[in-house]
Amino acid sequence: MRRKSNSPYNFESSVQVQFHEVDSLNIVWHGHYIRYFELGREAFGEKYGMGYRALRAHNTAVPVVSVHCEYKRPLTYGDHAIIKAYFIESMSAKVIFEYEIFHAETKDLIAVGRTEQVFTKPETGELILLFPDFYKKWLEELKNSFA
Amino acid sequence: MRRKSNSPYNFESSVQVQFHEVDSLNIVWHGHYIRYFELGREAFGEKYGMGYRALRAHNTAVPVVSVHCEYKRPLTYGDHAIIKAYFIESMSAKVIFEYEIFHAETKDLIAVGRTEQVFTKPETGELILLFPDFYKKWLEELKNSFA
Amino acid sequence: MRRKSNSPYNFESSVQVQFHEVDSLNIVWHGHYIRYFELGREAFGEKYGMGYRALRAHNTAVPVVSVHCEYKRPLTYGDHAIIKAYFIESMSAKVIFEYEIFHAETKDLIAVGRTEQVFTKPETGELILLFPDFYKKWLEELKNSFA
Amino acid sequence: MRRKSNSPYNFESSVQVQFHEVDSLNIVWHGHYIRYFELGREAFGEKYGMGYRALRAHNTAVPVVSVHCEYKRPLTYGDHAIIKAYFIESMSAKVIFEYEIFHAETKDLIAVGRTEQVFTKPETGELILLFPDFYKKWLEELKNSFA
């Protein structure tokens, strides 16, 4: 159903499963993967200069408007996982990421996912309908750095 | 993109937004909606006799294999929300729910979503490929009770 | 070690244990009780007119500076619990609550706890060293309403 | 009020504040520190061979029966923190840790805390009143390794 993510703009983070994340079935509760996605997305943002704080410095927020996650295999307590966040170019004024989570040792695919975010003004929540200029400039530079 | 859910098998729960759920943008952090879905799903299960504990009594677990959520409007601290969980009939051996979250006072649509769960044996995680008999019997009774 | 809380200024809330709150030992993970305390505290505040929003309307925040919790008996999935929050008068400029959590059916004592909060200015985090006037007025009215 | 922790049996972990951990006051919500303590405690256990999994291999659980946390200074989004977990010798059959959390850059003391855990049988929750033999042996070895 889902093609493999293949954006060149990607970044890997790692996480170790904590005790409180594991449910009574002895696997990571499915809702925690939303936090893993956020961790991967923010690590990409920090690495390439467009994280939450950089956005706030431009008086812009990017609330999530869509989340999708498919679970392939479980994680359990103490497991180390790799979160691979792919920045996906968007035609409309959105920030799109796709994610792959792997078991760090077995390399098994654990989950795949996707989030979409829109640009808003933090004080009012008002939607910004076109890519902000600072963002277009950043995107240009991102592409050049990978060219 | 998403049609209106219209399964007759649905149930409403309510929730009030707690302080710890609100992020630095003063809105409920998007990951908490996965908990709201679970709350609505389990309330349906408890109401109609097929919640987590009923499943465990049949030595069956139903881990979530897919989550989707679209965010329409934000919730903020103290807001009361209605979670409407729709049980969706599935051809294959899955448990499917769709969700609508409304603001309790304004009746605004806050979010829509969908989860899919599969049947497994709790000890091994082994997939159960066909609907278990006890579940087929329950489903028959659910339909009769709505007929 | 801990005397029974006996402040006349108390309020009861109820909560049902959700699936995601239960850990691999099949009991509510200990960290979630901090949320239960907050729920009980905010319900008291809402009932008596001094919750988070009332405080913000007076441009005041009350960050938690101390939490204590003792766990007596476990809660498990689906359990209903009663959270009893006692407002404790303080000589210094603090907001102090004590808590008792009971199993709703067995009436067993599940946990006891205590939180202390200080008054600050939300923009700067600066400490407010004396009880604010609006708060002293509210406290006077609270006492009168119980007299 | 609280003496400085000075057990020689200590271990440092690090954590970076995630977006979802920050509340509407722009600081880490106080309940998340319970997770930080757990992270520090488990990292100590993994380092010295007595983490959650080692205990389970001995058919023993160590549920938390007491948590205390004092908050000195706030953490905010993106901050790096150091969690220092001190293993404290106990006369009675308990596992006691004390914690100090520091800001990784400023070295400011952010919070201090303490947890107590008891030994139980995981299937029944029954209390184990004396230190288990495997644990006494481990403790002896821990001391020798620091001697």
Cα separation, C107 vs C126, whole angstroms = 42
Q: How many CB pairs under 8 A join A and B?
A: 54
**Residues recorded for chain C:** 147
Q: What residues have CB less than 8 Å from C82, skipping those under 6 apart?
A: C12, C13, C14, C101, C102, C103, C104
A 30-69 residues with CB < 8 A to C: 31
- Token code pair at residue C104: 């709703």
pLDDT of B40 strictly over 80: yes
Q: By the 8 A CB rule, do A6 and A84 touch? A: no
Summarised one tens digit per residue, pLDDT across range C59-111 is 999 999 999 999 999 999 999 999 999 999 999 999 999 999 999 999 999 99
Of A103, A99, A74, the C-alpha closest to A16 is: A103
Confirm if C97 and C115 have CB atoms less than 8 A apart. Answer: yes
Token pair of A114 as six digits: 């996707």
CA angle, B122 then B127 then B129, to 5°: 130
- Of all residues in chain A, the percent with pLDDT exceeding 70 is 97
Q: Could you tell me which of C93, C106, C105, C101 has the C-alpha nearest to residue C133?
A: C93
Distance CA B72, CA A118 (A): 11
Residue A6's pLDDT is 79
Residue D2 predicted with pLDDT over 60:
no
What's the rounded Cα separation, in Å, for the pair C46 and D135? Answer: 48
Per-residue pLDDT tens over the stretch C43-60:
999 999 999 989 999 999
pLDDT for D146 equals 83
pLDDT at A97: 98
Q: Residue C33 has which token pair?
A: 């009780």
- Cβ within 8 Å, pair D23-B26: no
Place of tokens 């392939």: A72
Query: Which chain D residues contact residue A42 at CB under 8 A?
Result: 18-19
Which stretch of DSSP H or E encloses residue A100? strand A94-103
Of A27, A38, A67, which is closest to B69 when you measure between CB atoms? A67
- Global pTM value: 0.95
Q: Which amino acid is residue A126, in one-letter code?
A: E
What is the sign of the dihedral through the CA atoms of C88, C94, C97 and C98? negative
Q: Inform me whether the pLDDT recorded for B5 exceeds 80.
A: no
By residue count, chain A amounts to: 147
Proportion of chain D above pLDDT 90, given as a percent: 90
User: Containing H/E element for C64?
Assistant: strand C64-71
Amino acid at A19: F
Residue A76 burial (10 A CB sphere; 0-12, 13-18, 19+): middle
Write down the mean pLDDT value for chain D: 94
Nearest-CA neighbor of A65 among B69, D116, C132, D27? B69
Q: Which helix (H) or strand (E) holds B70?
A: strand B64-71
Q: Spell out the residues 6+ positions from residue B21 whose beta carbon is closer than 8 angstroms to its own.
A: B28, B29, B32, B77
DSSP codes of every residue in D98-114: EEEEEETTT--EEEEEE
> Tokens 């006996």 — which residue?
C6
Share of chain C above pLDDT 90, in %: 90
Query: Which class for A12: exposed (0-12), middle (13-18), buried (19 or more C-beta within 10 A)?
Result: middle
Residue A3 clears pLDDT 60, i.e. is over it: no
Q: Is D11 helix (H, G, I), strand (E, B) or coil?
A: strand
CB contact under 8 A, B24 and D20: no
- pLDDT of A124 > 50? The answer is yes
Q: What is the pLDDT of residues B96-120, one digit of tens each?
A: 999 999 999 999 999 999 999 999 9
Local confidence band at D147 (pLDDT 50, 70, 90 cut-offs)? confident
Q: How far apart are CA A89 and CA D72, in angstroms?
A: 43
Q: For residue A66, give the nearest of B112, B63, B76 by alpha carbon.
A: B112
Test mutation, B24, B34, B35, chain D, max D CBs within 10 A: B24
Are residues A126 and A106 in contact, defined by beta-carbon separation less than 8 angstroms?
no
How many alpha carbons fall within 13 Å on the CB side of residue A130? 4
Query: What is the DSSP secondary structure assignment for residue C89, as one 8-state letter?
Result: -
ipTM of the complex: 0.94
pLDDT of B72 higher than 50: yes
- Does pLDDT of D5 surpass 80? no
pLDDT digits (tens, 9 = 90+) for D18-30: 999 999 999 999 9
Of chain D, the end-to-end C-alpha distance in Å amounts to: 30
> Do A26 and C24 count as a contact with CB atoms less than 8 A apart?
yes
**Which stretches of B79-146 are DSSP H helices?**
133-146
Please check whether residue D14 is in contact with residue D85, taking contact to mean a CB–CB distance below 8 angstroms.
Answer: no
Q: Is A74–B125 a contact, with Cβ atoms under 8 angstroms apart?
A: yes
pLDDT band at A1; cut points 50, 70, 90: very low
DSSP A5: P
Secondary structure of B116-129 in HEC code, one letter for each residue: EEEEECCCCCCEEC
User: Per-residue pLDDT for C3 more than 60?
Assistant: no
* CA proximity to C9, closest of C58, C55, C57, C43: C43
Whether residue A79 contacts residue A16, with contact meaning beta carbons closer than 8 Å, is answered with yes
Residue type at C111 in one-letter notation = A
What pLDDT does residue C137 have?
A: 97
Nearest CA in chain A to C29: A20
Give the mean model confidence (pLDDT) for residues D40-51.
95
Residue A24: list chain C partners with CB under 8 A: 19, 22-24, 26, 77
**DSSP state letters, chain D:** --PPP--S-EEEEEEE--GGGB-TTSSB-TTHHHHHHHHHHHHHHHHHT-SHHHHHHTT-B--EEEEEEEE-S---TT-EEEEEEEEE--SSSEEEEEEEEEETTT--EEEEEEEEEEEE-TTT-PEE-S--HHHHHHHHHHHHHH-
Average pLDDT, chain A: 94
Minimum distance, in Å, between the CA of residue B17 and any CA atom of chain C? 10
Q: What is the mean pLDDT of residues B33-58?
A: 95
The answer to whether the beta carbons of residues D29 and D71 sit under 8 Å apart is no
State CA A60 to chain mean position distance: 18
Q: How confident is the model at residue B2, as a pLDDT?
A: 53
Whether the Cβ atoms of residue C83 and residue C44 lie closer than 8 Å to each other: no
Decide if pLDDT at D3 tops 70: no
Q: With a cut of 60, say whether residue D96 has pLDDT above it.
A: yes
**For chain A, which chains pass the contact test of at least 3 CB pairs under 8 Å?**
B, C, D
Nearest CB to D63 within list C27, C31, C122: C27
Q: Identify the residue whose tokens are 């100590």.
A: D44
Shortest CB distance from A38 goes to which of D20, D51, D52? Answer: D20
Helix H or strand E encompassing C127: strand C127-128
The pLDDT of residue C1 is above 50: no
